[in-house]
Amino acid sequence: MTCSARVDRRWREVLLISTIQVTLPPGQKAPDAEEICIALIGNPNAGKTTLFNALTGLRAKTANFPGTTIERRVGHTRLADHRVKLLDLPGLYSLASVTPEERLAREVLLGQQAHQPQPHGIILLLDATTLERNLYLASQVLELGLPTVVALNMVDLAERSSIEIDLEKLEAELGCPVVPVVARSGRGIDTLRRQLERMIEPSGPALGRASTEPFCDCSGCPYKARYDWAEEVGARVSSGRTTAHGGTTDRIDAVLTHRWVGVAAFLSVMFAVFALIFWVAQYPMDWIDAGFAYVGSVIGRWLPPGDFRSLLVDGVIGGVGGVLVFLPQICVLFFFLALLEDTGYLARAAFVMDRLMRRVGLPGKAFVPMLSAHACAVPAIMTTRVIEDRRDRLVTILVLPLFSCSARIPVYTMITALLFPYRPVAAGLVFTGAYTLGIVAALVMALVFKRTILPGESRPLVLELPSYKIPSLRTALLTTLDRAKIFIRRAGSIILGVSILLWFLASYPKSEPPAAALILQADAQQLISTGELDRAAGLEEEADRLTAQSGLARSFAGRAGRAIEPVLRPLGFDWQIGIGILSSFAAREVIVSTLAVVYGVGESAVDADPGSLYDSLRAAVRSDGTPVYTTATSVSLLIFYVLAMQCLSTQAVTRRETNSWRWPIFQLGYMTVLAYSVTFLVYQLLRIWNLG
C-alpha cells in the first residue's frame, strides 16, 4: 500500500497547486466541449494499463464504446489548472483499420467517432525493450499530426538488458518529446505530467511530427517501408543492442510452452488458482452471508411484521445478498488472473491450449474463461474479451454457463444427500458426474454452434508472448476493483429488480393462515399465559412454518408451479419442484431454500440442520402416496440443474458483453431446451429401468 500512498500524496500536491488558479471547483465537471481529452495509445503488453492507472488513480470508469463491446476506459487527472480526461484506447500493433479495435482507435484519433470529440493530444506509449516493433505503431500515430508526447516505458528493464537509447536522438527522429518512465514504479511520471501540461497549453509549441516521409512509396508493402524505418531509427538511437536478448524468458519458455510439459504446468497453475479461490473466498463469503443475515435480523427486529419488512428482508436483502455472496470468488479469480496476465504467463497458457481447443473449433484463448466458469460464469464471460474473433467469442460466451459454477454446489449437495446419504464415495461420483456432464455438454454445444449458427474455422493463432515480468500488485488490485464495481452495479440494478419481482410472486396474493397454524397459535398463547415460554416459542415457530408453506402454495408462484406441472411431469417433477425452478430463475441455489419452505421445513431449520431438509424431501409423497424423490426424479433434477440457465447475473453480463438482447435470450432458450430434453430422456430411461 506504500505505493498508492505515495501516489495519493502526489495527487494532493497536484490538486493543491491546481486549486490556486482553478476556474472550476474541483470535482465539478467541465462542459464536454471545453474538457481537454488526451488519448493513450500503445502496443499490447507495453504497460498501458499500468501507466493509465499511474496517471488517473482510482477514478477510472470502464464501459464500452457505444455500439461495440470494445472496452473504453476513461479517467480524469489534473494538468496545470485543467481537468483532463484520459482515454485509454485498446492495445494495438497497428492503426491499419484491419481489426475493429484498430478501426475504432483510428476513428477516435481522427475525431470521426460520434459522441467522442477528437482528442487534443496523444500519449504514445513505447516499450523500450522492444522499441523497433513499437516504432511501427509510432510511425502511424505520428502521421496523424496530433500533438504527441512519447512515454518510453520499462526503461529499467531496457537498462538491465544493456539497451542504451539516446533520448535526444529519439526525440529528433520522432519530432516530439520523449519521457523515459517506469509505469510500474511511478518513475518519470512527474516529468511526463509536465510534458503533458506543456502539450495542452494553447500557446505552447506545436508538437508532433511535422515532416513525415510518405511511407507508402507504392513500390512495396507499407509494412516493409514502416518497419525498415523502425529498424533504421532503432539502430540510429541506440548505441548498444536494440532489443533484449531475453535469455531468461527463453529458458522458462522451454518448459512452459513445451507440448506436454506446458499443458501439465498450465493445469497445475490453474488447479492452484482454483484451490486458492475456494479456500480464500470462503471466509469473506461467510462474512457476507452472515452480514446480510445480521442486517436482515436487525431490520426484522426494528420493523413491525408485515409486507414492508418481508420485502426488505426476504426480497431485497435475501435476493441481493444471495448474488453478492459470490463477489469474493469473482474478486479472487480476477486478482489471480490479472497477476498471471501481468507476468506474461496467460499468453503461454493460450499458446499451449491452442492445439487442444482447435478440436472443438475454438482458440486456445477460450480455455481460461472455460476454467474460470467453474467458479462463476460472470467473470468468465468478462474474460472472453481476449478472444479477438467475434464468432469464437460468442460461441464461448454461449457455452460458458454450462460449466458447473459454484452456485450449483448447494444444489448438487442437496441432491447427492437425497440419492446417497452417508455414502461419500457414491456422493463423490455424483459430483464428478455432474461436473463431467457440464464439460461434455459445453464442448459438444461449442462444436454444434461452430458448425451451425456461427460457422467458420477458428482464427489461426497470432499471439505475442511477452517477456516474463514481476507482476504489479497495484494493477491487479485496480483490475479486480474495476470488475467488482461492474458486478455490484449489476446486483444493484437488474438483479435487485428481479429479486423484488420474485419476492412479490412468492408473497402475493396473501392468504389466511391455515387452520392448523391458528390452532397452534392459540395453544401457544395459552402456554405463554402459564409461563411455559420455551414450548410456546416452539409452537409459534411451527405455526409460522405452516403459514409460510400454505402462503407460498397459494401465491402467484405457487399457482405458476401448479400451472407448469403438466410440462414438468415428464421430467418427474411435481408442482413443488416447479415453484423451486421458477423461484431459482434468478439464482439457482435459491431452490434449496424454496424447497425448504415448500415442503414446510422452514428456512431457519435448514440453516441449523441441513439433514432436516433432506429428511422431509425424502418423506415427500405424491397424491397417490408414492415418494416424490425417487432415484429417477433426483437424477433428473440434478441433470436439469447442470444444464439449465437459471442465473440472471449471467444473462445480464451476456447482454453487456454481446451488446444485444438477442444472445442472452438465445442462451436462455437453447439451455432450457437442452436441459428439458436431456432430463426428459434420462428420466424416461430410468423409469423403464424401474428406478422411478
Residues numbered 155 to 214 that lie near another protein (CB under 8 A) are 214
Rounded to whole angstroms, the Cα distance separating 541 from 605 reads 10
468 touches another protein (CB under 8 A): no
Residues numbered 438 to 467 that lie near another protein (CB under 8 A) are 459-467
* Minimum CB distance to another protein, residue 392 (Å): 12
Interacting stretch for another protein, rule CB under 8 A, among 244-252, 287-295, 398-406, 634-642?
Answer: 244-252
Q: Which candidate, 486, 481, 483, 472, places its Cα nearest to that of 51?
A: 472
396 Cβ contact partners less than 8 Å away, ≥ 6 residues apart: 362, 366, 369, 370, 384, 387, 446
* Minimum CB distance to another protein, residue 348 (Å): 8
Rounded to whole angstroms, the Cα distance separating 147 from 205 reads 9
130 touches another protein (CB under 8 A): yes
Helix ranges (DSSP H) in 21-118: 48-56, 100-109
Q: Which is nearer to another protein, 170 or 277 (CB)?
A: 170
- Can you read off the three cell numbers belonging to residue 64? 464500452
**Residue type present at position 525:** Q
Q: Which is nearer to another protein, 314 or 392 (CB)?
A: 392
314 touches another protein (CB under 8 A): no
Contact 374, 410 (CB under 8 A): no
Site string for another protein, 617-646 (x = CB under 8 A): ------------------------------
Q: Which is nearer to another protein, 205 or 247 (CB)?
A: 247
Given candidates 231, 544, 603, 615, which one binds another protein under the rule CB under 8 A?
231
Q: Which is nearer to another protein, 171 or 231 (CB)?
A: 231
227 touches another protein (CB under 8 A): yes
Positive or negative, the CA dihedral 46, 50, 51, 56 is: positive
Given candidates 38, 347, 415, 505, which one binds another protein under the rule CB under 8 A?
347
Rounded to whole angstroms, the Cα distance separating 529 from 523 reads 10
Q: In what order do the strands lie in the sheet with 71-79?
A: 61-64, 71-79, 82-88, 36-42, 121-127, 148-153, 178-180
Q: Which is nearer to another protein, 232 or 607 (CB)?
A: 232
* Minimum CB distance to another protein, residue 268 (Å): 20
393 touches another protein (CB under 8 A): no
578 Cβ contact partners less than 8 Å away, ≥ 6 residues apart: 560, 561, 562, 564, 565, 568
* Minimum CB distance to another protein, residue 48 (Å): 16
132 touches another protein (CB under 8 A): yes
- Size of site (CB under 8 A) for another protein: 54
Given candidates 29, 245, 489, 662, which one binds another protein under the rule CB under 8 A?
245
Positive or negative, the CA dihedral 274, 278, 280, 284 is: positive
* Minimum CB distance to another protein, residue 98 (Å): 4
Strand partners for 130: 243
Buried b (16+ CB within 10 A) or exposed e, 95-131: beeebebbbbbbbbbeeebeebeebbbbbbbbbbbbb
In terms of phi and psi (left: phi > 0; alpha: psi -120 to 50; beta: otherwise), the region of 466 is beta
* Minimum CB distance to another protein, residue 219 (Å): 8
**Beta strand extents in 388-428 (DSSP E only):** none
Given candidates 220, 421, 611, 627, which one binds another protein under the rule CB under 8 A?
220
Given candidates 24, 210, 216, 608, which one binds another protein under the rule CB under 8 A?
216
Q: Which is nearer to another protein, 336 or 351 (CB)?
A: 351
* Minimum CB distance to another protein, residue 188 (Å): 22
* Minimum CB distance to another protein, residue 174 (Å): 17
Rounded to whole angstroms, the Cα distance separating 55 from 22 reads 20
* Minimum CB distance to another protein, residue 162 (Å): 11
288 touches another protein (CB under 8 A): no
257 touches another protein (CB under 8 A): yes
Given candidates 30, 96, 299, 518, which one binds another protein under the rule CB under 8 A?
96
Instruction: Output 177-182 pairs: Cβ under 8 A, ≥24 positions apart.
Output: 177/149, 177/150, 177/207, 178/150, 178/152, 179/149, 179/150, 179/151, 179/152, 180/128, 180/152, 180/155, 181/51, 181/151, 181/152, 181/153, 181/155, 182/153, 182/154, 182/155, 182/156
Interacting stretch for another protein, rule CB under 8 A, among 10-18, 98-106, 283-291, 308-316?
Answer: 98-106
56 Cβ contact partners less than 8 Å away, ≥ 6 residues apart: 75, 76, 77, 86
Contact 580, 628 (CB under 8 A): no
Site string for another protein, 351-390 (x = CB under 8 A): x--xx-----------------------------------
Strands 36-42 and 121-127: parallel
* Minimum CB distance to another protein, residue 153 (Å): 15
Q: Which is nearer to another protein, 66 or 455 (CB)?
A: 455
Contact 545, 601 (CB under 8 A): yes
Given candidates 136, 266, 449, 683, which one binds another protein under the rule CB under 8 A?
136
Rounded to whole angstroms, the Cα distance separating 214 from 643 reads 58
Rounded to whole angstroms, the Cα distance separating 447 from 290 reads 42
Contact 654, 400 (CB under 8 A): no
Given candidates 242, 480, 521, 651, which one binds another protein under the rule CB under 8 A?
242
Given candidates 4, 62, 99, 118, which one binds another protein under the rule CB under 8 A?
99
44 phi, psi to nearest 5 deg: -60, 150
Interacting stretch for another protein, rule CB under 8 A, among 266-274, 348-356, 497-505, 673-681?
Answer: 348-356
Q: Which is nearer to another protein, 162 or 604 (CB)?
A: 162
115 touches another protein (CB under 8 A): no
Q: Which is nearer to another protein, 117 or 222 (CB)?
A: 222
* Minimum CB distance to another protein, residue 242 (Å): 6
Contact 639, 435 (CB under 8 A): no
* Minimum CB distance to another protein, residue 456 (Å): 10
Q: Which is nearer to another protein, 244 or 417 (CB)?
A: 244
Contact 25, 102 (CB under 8 A): no
218 touches another protein (CB under 8 A): yes
Interacting stretch for another protein, rule CB under 8 A, among 60-68, 71-79, 216-224, 473-481?
Answer: 216-224
Chain positions contacting another protein, by CB under 8 A: 93-99, 106, 129-130, 132-133, 136, 140, 143, 214-216, 218, 220-224, 227-228, 230-231, 235, 241-246, 249-250, 253, 257, 259, 347, 350-351, 354-355, 459-467
